[in-house]
Amino acid sequence: MALYESKTELWDLDINVIQPEGKGPDPATDGNSGTKPFRDAFECYIQPCLAELLGSSLFIFVGCLSVIENTEGTGRLQPALAHGLALGIVIAVLGEISGGHFNPAVSVFLIGGLNIILLVPYILAQMCGGMIGAGLAKVGTLYYAKVSGAAFNTVQADTQIVPATVAEMIMTLFLTMVVCMGAVNGRTRNILAGGAVSGACMNPARAFGPAVVANYWSYHWIYWVGPMSGALLTASFIRRQYTLLKKIKGTLKQHNVTPSQSHFCEIKLST
């Protein structure tokens, strides 16, 4: 039997179709053979980017409105909950199509499991979505001028640069760790953690869109350097841990030992 493999998702979800040996799909008898390459290209490349564009637009639209319409009595709680709920909704709706990134830092972190060709289109789609979401927020509220149109303006002096950059890096590190572990609901806790230091962005697209629409670029680079650094640090850490686990697994296999056996700790791992 000959085996023909078709991939329909960004991750390695293999759907195996068994054909009689020596008889593959016949273009002459396949009525859709002429459109199949275009359909495959749309499903694998265009559709995920459109999902990232739409999801980023909705997420940043809600995020900007939550900041613009926020009252002093609620503090950072209202924007944190609004961002978390919006992110959860767009991931639930569009996550199966694109993987649910909606954040350049997350795309960089997941580059090992993402088609390298999609990295730049994903980031461009997220940034365009940020501009669209911020633009819709500008149209949809009378208080747009408040807090610089939802652009991040927490950092006001050079003395805040290092704390803000480190805060963004650490919070993004935790965020990407949560993404790695498959838990989405912990992101709202990360948003609250460093809000007073940097504004708790963790998403360059979330900072870029409002900055373009409001033309507010003061210390904007912090919201790129911090999240991207945190994502790269997490990716490096995860890869090192994965390499270590592979070494441990190889050593166990070499000694015919399972991790549950009591003399596991007596084995000297080879370097």
Residue indicated by tokens 């994502």: 231
SS3 sequence of 98-142: HCCCCCHHHHHHCHHHCCHHHHHHHHHHHHHHHHHHHHHHHHCCC
Q: Which tens digit of pLDDT belongs to each residue from 4-13? A: 343 333 334 3
CB 130 within 8 A of CB 62: no
Q: Which fold has domain 39-243?
A: Glycerol uptake facilitator protein (1.20.1080)
pLDDT on residue 53 = 95
pLDDT on residue 140 = 79
Q: Which tens digit of pLDDT belongs to each residue from 191-210? A: 444 444 444 678 888 889 88
pLDDT on residue 145 = 60
Amino acid symbol at 198: S
pLDDT on residue 50 = 94
Q: Is the pLDDT of residue 176 over 50?
A: yes
- 132 confidence band (pLDDT: 50, 70, 90): very high
Residue 11's CB is within 10 A of a number of other CB atoms, namely 10
- SS3 of the chain: helix, strand, coil, percent, to 5: 65, 5, 30
pLDDT on residue 92 = 87
Lowest mean pLDDT across 117-126, 215-224, 257-266:
257-266
Single pTM value for the model? 0.68
Q: Which tens digit of pLDDT belongs to each residue from 11-53? A: 343 434 334 444 445 544 455 566 777 777 788 889 999 999 9
Amino acid symbol at 126: Q
pLDDT on residue 149 = 60
Residue-range domain boundaries for the chain: 39-243
- 182 confidence band (pLDDT: 50, 70, 90): low
Percentage of residues in the chain having pLDDT higher than 70: 67
- Cα separation, 64 vs 62, in Å, equals 6
- Cα separation, 187 vs 200, in Å, equals 11
